Amino acid sequence: MQKMIKAMLLLSGLTVSQISLAASNDSAMLQSGDFVGYSFWLISMALAASTIFFLMEALRLGGKWATSLTVSALVTFIAAFHYFYMRDVWVTTGNTPTDFRYIDWLLTVPLLMIEFYLILAAIATVSGGIFWRLLIGTLVMLVPGYMGEAGYINATVGFVIGMLGWAYILYEIFAGEASKVAAGQAPPAVQKAYGLMKWTVTIGWAIYPIGYFLGYLAGGTDEGTLNIVYNLADVLNKIAFGLFIWYAANEDSNAKSHA
C-alpha cells in the first residue's frame, strides 16, 4: 500500500508542476471578469493541492485508514484533471461542459459512496452488501441524469429516475445497514465523520438536482450561474468529504497513541 501511495504522490507532484506550467501559458485565455472561468481555475488548483495532502496523510497515518485516504486522493486527483478540461470548454466556447462533468461524476461519485463502506470496514466487520448497494444507487442516480441532460431520454424521466437513486442512497446511509453499523459499532470520531458525510450527501448533493431542475425542466437558467453553483458544490462534495474522513482517521490515531 505504501509503495502505491508513494507512486501516486510522485505522479501527483509531477502533475501539479505540469499543470502550474500550463497555467502560466493558458491563463491569458481567461478574460477579465470571467468569474465562471475563475471558479474553474481556483477549484482545479484546490483539488490538486488536496490530492497531495490526502496522500501525505495516508502515508503518515497508514494502517487501516490508508485506503480511505487514498480513495479521497483519487477523487480529487480525477476531479482536478476534469476541471482543467472543463475550464477550457467554458473559456473557448462559453458552453456548459456537461459531458466532462458527468464523466467526472461517474468516476468520483461511486468512489465517494464507497468511502462509507471503507470507514466502517476500518472499525468493524461489515457485509459487502453495503458496498454494492451504495455503488448501484450512484449509478441509478447518475446514468439517467446524464441521459436526460444530454437529450438521449426525456429530461423529466431522467430526473425522476435519478432522484429515486439518490433516495435509495439516503435510505441506506440514514436507516439501512450502514447507518446501523455506524450507530452501534463506530467510535465517536467515526460517528461524527459519518454524520458529516451523510449530511453532505443530503444537503450538498441537493444542489445538483436543483441545478438540473432549473436548467432543464424550468425553462432554463443562466449557464454562468449554474456552473458556479456546480463548482462550489464540488468543493463541498469532494474536498470537504475527504477532510471529514481525515478527521476521523486523525482522531482515531490520536486516541490509540494516548491509550
Report how far residue 239's alpha carbon sits from residue 233's, in angstroms, rounded to the nearest whole number: 10
State the pLDDT at residue 76.
96
Is the separation of the CB atoms in 238 and 79 below 8 Å? yes
31 in helix, strand or coil?
coil
Taking phi over 0 as left and psi of -120 to 50 as alpha, with beta for the rest, 130 belongs to alpha
Report how far residue 216's alpha carbon sits from residue 148's, in angstroms, rounded to the nearest whole number: 9
Number of alpha helices (DSSP H) and beta strands (DSSP E) in the chain: 11, 0
Report how far residue 53's alpha carbon sits from residue 68's, in angstroms, rounded to the nearest whole number: 13
Domains in the chain, please, with CATH?
2-257 (1.20.1070.10)
CA angle 153, 111, 38 (to 5 degrees): 75
182 pLDDT above the threshold of 70: yes
Model confidence band, residue 21 (pLDDT cutoffs 50, 70, 90): very low
Mean pLDDT, the chain, rounded, equals 83
Q: Which of 11-15, 90-94, 238-242 has the lowest mean pLDDT?
A: 11-15
50 pLDDT above the threshold of 90: yes
State the pLDDT at residue 172.
92
Residues 48-65 have a mean pLDDT of 91
190 pLDDT above the threshold of 60: yes
Q: Which residue has the higher pLDDT, 205 or 26?
A: 205
Q: Which of 147-151, 244-248, 253-257 has the lowest mean pLDDT?
A: 253-257
Beta-carbon contacts of residue 181 (< 8 Å; ≥ 6 apart): 120, 124, 126, 130
27 pLDDT above the threshold of 50: no
Q: What is the pLDDT of residues 196-239, one digit of tens each?
A: 999 999 998 888 887 777 766 666 667 787 888 888 888 888 99
Report how far residue 134's alpha carbon sits from residue 76's, in angstroms, rounded to the nearest whole number: 20
Report how far residue 224's alpha carbon sits from residue 234's, in angstroms, rounded to the nearest whole number: 15
C-alpha cell recorded at residue 45: 488548483
Q: Which residue has the higher pLDDT, 223 or 39?
A: 39
